[in-house]
Chains A and B, each alone.
Chain A
Amino acid sequence: MISDITTYQIADFIPFEQETFLFLLQDYHEFIYPQQFYFLAANLLIFSFCLKQPAKKWPKQIALIYLAICWAYVGYFFHLQYFDMLVWAGEVFAFLHFIQSLVLIGCAFTLNSKAKFNLRATRIWLILFFLISFFPLPLLYKGYSSDIEGFGWSWWPTALGSLFLLPVLVKSWKLWVSLILPLFSTICALLLRIGLA
């Protein structure tokens, strides 16, 4: 059995070609256009709220609810409508995205108003979040490149953005619970990219 396992490579678990996946991303982006821009605007707004009022509870609640919307959006529009075309795992990913959405809503409504946040650390994390949110912006000018993936409307940047943002929004055990699926999703995305390379 052990020798059998060694014959497998990551690519053996990916039932589609790289070209097909890139085409799928492109088709998805064309389908949701121009919502990418609405997400960019929302990212900017929430970033400014969090940066101006890092110690207050309400900007964090808004950010968490926004994150929950992003996860549900990607689960429905990307995984269920598109990724599921190629692989049954699309349904599973969609389900997990909806679970993550509920976890984030739970975190938003149970946020401790007395929690102390480190202002400097919060700002650093928020800047990282900002960069992740906006890195695809220049690519939009090139047309619908398959490389356009941004926080709030696409898969792995949403997970990656959550990994950066959640530590400044959520504390205690809830943080670890809320990080499980973003971490899993990011690992899956990286494995997919390695397998397709």
Chain B
Amino acid sequence: MFRRTFLKNTSIALAMAGWPRLVLSQDNLLRRQIYLSGEEIPVIGMGTWQTFNVGSLKGLLKQRAEVLAMFFKNGGSFIDSSPMYGSSEEVLGQTLEMTGNKSKVFAATKVWTGSTEEGRRQVNDSERLWGLPMIHLQQVHNLLNLEEHLKTLFKLKEQKRIKYVGITTSHGRRHSDFAKAMREYPLDFVQFTYNISVRDAEEVLLPLAQERKQAVVINRPLGGGALIDRVQRHAYPEWAKEIGCNNWPEFLLKYIVSHPAVTCAIPATSQVVHMKENMGACRGRLPTEEERQKMANHVAKL
């Protein structure tokens, strides 16, 4: 009860300060509100880079459906993919059908091509492949042909074929161009890389997103697997359990989503057990600023 009251008060204070409101819902799931609509999404979503590109290999399709089922069982909804991820969108469509969770999905995908016409085709293909009545978020990936694709996407938003428009980058690439686009366009979402080892985004992108009231999706939260592999070679710090982080994935993910400008992080996995661990970061309390600093210092020493 105390925790809920604390979170409620904190989230009101944050909302007044301009940060996206943190919400603890009835199911004890940590969610953040999207500025534009007030719609709430859990702070942990799911990425699909590499992990969901399994073509029509039946054994793997079934296994990915189990991963997806675990994601939804733990309250997940935000799923991010891209036409550049091979068969991932098609696999998502099939596994969503297999798990019967289409109504729970917040679908995010990307446009990534130099051609405007091809961009429109990618948007249509995504709708068909996911098998959903609507793709919620369409993002221009890596700022490629940004101006033209944004024209297309804003038009689609007007037509209510999509709900939100965003842009993405990763690996810390082109942050100055990215910030310029964040200032120039009325974007609903931005997506970039941020984790406990790669914190460049703290300087410009995260404060800018807050200033521009743009929802923030964090990719590569576990450093593409390299970060989690690195920390898991070391003993888990006991003090971290006292701040609500029960294992390394929770530790790394809660560090990210406790940044007040972050709306959600999207770790990718092909393992059911890892999905369960990742979704653990949606529950319990989030570290304070002081605790975040302690966490960053601890990982820097490993």
Contacts and interface: CB of A to CB of B under 8 A. Distances in A.
Interface stretch (A15-23, A47-55, A137-145, A157-165): A15-23
Contacts of A85: 55-57, 86-87
B50 A14 contact: yes
Contacts of B55: 24, 82, 85-86
Interface string B223-260: 01000000000000000000000000000000000000
A92 interface: no
B73 interface: no
Secondary structure class of chain B's binding surface, majority of residues: loop
B74 interface: no
Chain A, interface size category, equals 10 to 19
A16 B224 CA distance: 12
Contacts of A4: 173-174
Pick the most buried of A16, A19, A23, A27: most chain B CB atoms within 10 A of its CB: A16
Contacts of A188: none
Interface residues of B, number: 21
A99 B3 CA distance: 67
A86 B86 contact: yes
Contacts of B87: 85-86
Those 8 A-B pairs whose CB atoms lie nearest each other, nearest first: A85-B55, A7-B171, A16-B53, A15-B86, A86-B86, A17-B50, A15-B53, A4-B173
30 contacts: A7-B173, A11-B224, A12-B171, A14-B50, A15-B85, A15-B86, A15-B88, A16-B53, A16-B54, A16-B86, A17-B53, A19-B270, A20-B50, A20-B54, A20-B270, A23-B54, A23-B57, A23-B59, A23-B60, A27-B57, A82-B55, A85-B57, A85-B86, A85-B87, A86-B53, A86-B55, A86-B86, A86-B87, A87-B86, A88-B86
